[in-house]
Amino acid sequence: MVCPFCKVLNEKPNEIIKNNKNTFVILSNPRLMPGHILIIPKRHVERLSDLTMEERNELFDEAIKCEEMVLKKIASGCDISQHYRPFIKQNNLKVNHLHMHIRPRESEDELFEKVQKYETNVFTELKKDEFNKYKKLLSN
């Protein structure tokens, strides 16, 4: 499957909202809510650790700029996320090219009503033995 983000960069430049040296910004399609933005490195990589320091800095600088723009012009809140899920095949909702999501949010918006109001049933209290296990694994 051809990477849809590389295709936008190389064949559909009119879909690009902002074009930087190492990153570009587009509106997510499909989207979760109006104003859902994607920040994408120009170089095709899959993980944050694959980025050069220059690419990483630009990616996060652009995320900050987009967050500020969303908070100033679109919504009172904002979700920022990045997902690495190699266990899911690339499809219309999952692309194997690193990208960050900037999602405008409001209290009890459509995403909250459909999904996040059930979060309390998903989270589990962190037990001491689990804490100790992951502290040991992650601190070395």
Residues 6+ apart with CB under 8 A from 17: 24, 25, 26, 27, 37
Q: What is the pLDDT of residue 40?
A: 98
For the entire predicted model, the pTM comes to 0.89
pLDDT in tens, 83-112: 999 898 988 889 999 999 999 999 988 888
Could you tell me the pLDDT band of residue 18, with boundaries at 50, 70 and 90?
Answer: very high
Could you tell me the pLDDT band of residue 51, with boundaries at 50, 70 and 90?
Answer: very high
Q: What is the pLDDT of residue 117?
A: 85
Q: How many CB atoms lie within 10 A of CB 97?
A: 17
Q: What is the largest CA-CA distance in the chain?
A: 53
The whole-angstrom separation of Cα 1 and Cα 91 is 8
